[in-house]
Structure 1
Amino acid sequence: MSSYSHPRANTAREWGTQIVEVRSNNRNGKDRPPQVVGSSTKPEPKGGAPGCAILDPIHIPRKSSSTTRMSKSTLPIVRFTCAVLVLLAAQLGAAQSNPSPVGEWLVTLDIFGTPLQQVLTLKSEGGKLTGSMRGRGRSEIEGTIAGNGVHFVTRQEKETNGEYEGTITADGMSGTAQVFGPKPELRIPAKWAARRVPAITPAPPQRHEFVPTKFHRAFSPFIEPVLHIKSGDSVHTTTVDAAGKDEKGAARVLGGNPETGPFFIDGALPGDILKVKLNRVRLNRDWAGSDDFLVPRAADASLGREMKYEPGEVRWKLDRERGLAMPEKPGEHMSRFAIPVKPMLGCVATAPGTTGQPVPTGDSGGFGGNMDYNEIGEGAIVYLPINIAGALLYVGDGHALQGDGELNGNALETSMDVEFTVEVLKDKKLSTPFVETDQYFEAMALAGSLDDAFREATGRLTRWLMDEYKLTPSEAAVVMGSSVEYRISEVADRNAGVVARLRKDRLAMLGR
Structure 2
Amino acid sequence: MTLLSPMPIPAQQSSKVAALNLAGEWIFEMDGDAQPQRVVLAFNGDTLRGAVYGQSFVVSLAANRVQFSVGDFRWRGTVRGDSLVGWLGIAPDSSRWTGVRFRPPAAPRAFKVDPSTFPRAYSGTTAPVLRIAAGDTVHTTTLDAGGWGRGAFGARGNKRSPGGNPLTGPFYVEGAVPGDVLVVTLHRVRLNRDWAFSGTSLVETAIDPSYATERQTPATPPDNKWTLDTVALQGRLTAPSPALRDFTVPLSPFLGVVATAASTEYAPSSRESGSYGGNMESARLREGTTIHLPVSTMGAQLYLGDGHAAQGSGELTGDAMETSLDVSFTVAIKRWGFAELTRAEDATDIMSIGVAGSLDAAMRRASSDMARWLTTDYGLTASDVALVMGFALQFDIPDVVPPGFGVTARIPKAALRTLVRPTRK
TM-score interval for Structure 1 and Structure 2 normalised by the shorter chain = 0.7 to 0.9
The match for 1:478 is 387
CA RMSD in angstroms comes to 3.5
Unmatched segments (≥5 aa) in structure 2:
none
Q: What per-residue deviation string (whole Å, max 9, x for no partner) do you get for residues 260-300 of structure 1?
A: 12222333333332221212111111211111222232121
Corresponding position: 1:324 with 2:234: yes
Report which stretch shifted further, 122-131 or 395-404: 122-131
In the superposition, relative to structure 1, how do residues 459 and 107 fare at CA in structure 2: closer, same or farther (>3 Å)?
A: same
Letter in 2 for 1:264: Y
1:103-137 C-alpha deviation (Å, 9 max, x unpaired): 643233444xx95544345679999987344xxxx
Quote the offset at 1:229 in angstroms: 2.7
Distance 1:403 1:164, change over 3 A: farther
Q: Is the 8 A contact 1:122 1:132 kept in 2?
A: no
Secondary structure of the 2:366 match is helix
C-alpha distance in structure 1 between counterparts of 2:59 and 2:348, whole Å:
51
Q: Which moved more, 1:317-326 or 1:440-449?
A: 317-326
* C-alpha spacing 1:226/1:164, structure 2 compared with 1 (3 Å): farther
Pair 1:328–1:224, CA change in 2 (3 A): same
Deviation (angstroms), 1:252: 0.5
| Cα deviation, residue 101, structure 1 | 8.5
Deviation at 1:143, TM superposition (A): 6.7
1:285 counterpart residue number: 193
Determine the C-alpha separation between the residues in 2 that align with 1:489 and 1:365.
14
CA–CA distance in structure 2, aligned partners of residues 97 and 280 of structure 1: 45
Residue in 2 that maps onto 1:72: none
SS in 2 for 1:467: helix
Q: Which runs of 5+ in 1 are unaligned?
A: 1-40, 51-84, 134-139, 154-162, 179-188
How far 1:372 moved relative to its partner? 0.6
Distance 1:330 1:202, change over 3 A: same
| SS of residue in 1 equivalent to 2:28 | strand
Residue 110 of structure 2: aligned partner: 207
SS of the aligned residue for 2:383 comes to helix
Aligned residue pairs, count:
402
Cross-structure match for 2:366: 457
Deviation at 1:463, TM superposition (A): 0.8
- Kept in 2, the 8 Å contact 1:131–1:142? The answer is yes
User: Which of 36, 59, 70 is equivalent to 1:152?
Assistant: 70
Deviation sequence 1:313-356 (CA, Å, 0-9, x none): 622121223321122232332222111111110011122232x3
State which of 315, 319, 327 in structure 1 corresponds to 2:225: 315
Aligned to 1:299: 207
Deviations, residues 160-193 of structure 1 (Å, cap 9, x unaligned): xxx9664221131444679xxxxxxxxxx99552
Deviation string, structure 1 residues 232-282 (Cα, Å, up to 9, x no partner): 222221111111111114111111111112222333333332221212111
Which structure has the greater CA radius of gyration? 1
Q: Deviations over 1:348-389 (max 9, x none)?
A: 1122232x3122111112221111101111111111123333
8 Å CA contact retained: 1:272, 1:386: yes
Indicate conservation of the 8 Å contact 2:19/2:48, yes or no.
no
Quote the residue 1:508 is aligned against.
417
Query: Is structure 2 residue 51 aligned with structure 1 residue 131?
Result: yes
Relative distance call for 1:420 and 1:307 in structure 2 (3 A) is: farther
Q: How does 1:62-211 map to 2 (within 5 A)?
A: 89=11, 104-111=25-32, 116-121=35-40, 131-133=51-53, 140-141=54-55, 148=66, 150-152=68-70, 166-171=75-80, 172-175=84-87, 192-203=96-107, 205-211=108-114
Cα distance change of structure 1 residues 212 and 128 upon mapping to structure 2, 3 Å threshold: closer
Tell me which residue corresponds to 1:396: 305
Q: Distance in 2 between matches of 1:468 and 1:214?
A: 40
1:467-500: CA deviation from partner (whole Å, max 9, x where unpaired): 1111111211111112111111111131111111
The letter of the residue matching 1:106 is I
Superposed displacement of residue 42, structure 1: 12
The alignment status of 1:255 with 2:163, answered yes or no, reads yes
Q: Conserved in 2, the CA contact under 8 Å of 1:259 and 1:396?
A: yes
The answer to whether the Cα contact below 8 Å between 1:448 and 1:494 also exists between their aligned partners in 2 is: yes
Q: Which residue of 1 aligns with 2:177?
A: 269
Change (3 A) 1:431 1:407: same
Provide the rounded CA distance (Å) in 2 between the counterparts of 1:233 and 1:98.
30
Q: Provide closer, same or farther for how the CA distance between residues 97 and 397 of structure 1 changes in structure 2, counting only shifts above 3 A.
A: closer
3-state DSSP class of the match of 1:218?
coil
For the residues of structure 1 that align with 2:138 and 2:299, how far apart are their CA atoms?
15
Matched, 1:239 2:146: no
Structure-2 residue corresponding to 1:35:
none
Per-residue CA deviation, residues 184-212 of structure 1 (Å, 9 max, x unaligned), is xxxxx995522133232431x33322212
Tell me, what secondary structure is at the counterpart of 1:170?
Answer: strand
DSSP-derived class of the 1:318 partner:
strand
Distance verdict in 2 for CA 1:387–1:92, change over 3 Å: same
Of structures 1 and 2, the one scoring higher in RCO (CA 8 A, sep 6+) is 2
- Deviation of 1:408 (Å): 1.4
Q: Deviations over 1:401-425 (max 9, x none)?
A: 1111111111111111111222233
Cα separation, 2, equivalents of 1:319 and 1:99: 59
Indicate how the Cα distance of structure 1 residues 337 and 264 shifts in structure 2: closer, same or farther if over 3 A, else same.
Answer: same
Alignment-mate amino acid for residue 162 of structure 2: L
Q: Distance in 2 between matches of 1:487 and 1:190?
A: 52
Separation in 2, partners of 1:232, 1:98: 28
The one of 105, 121, 124 equivalent to 1:218 is 121
The amino acid across from 1:240 in the alignment is L
Alpha-carbon distance change, 470 to 192 in structure 1, aligned in 2, over 3 angstroms: farther
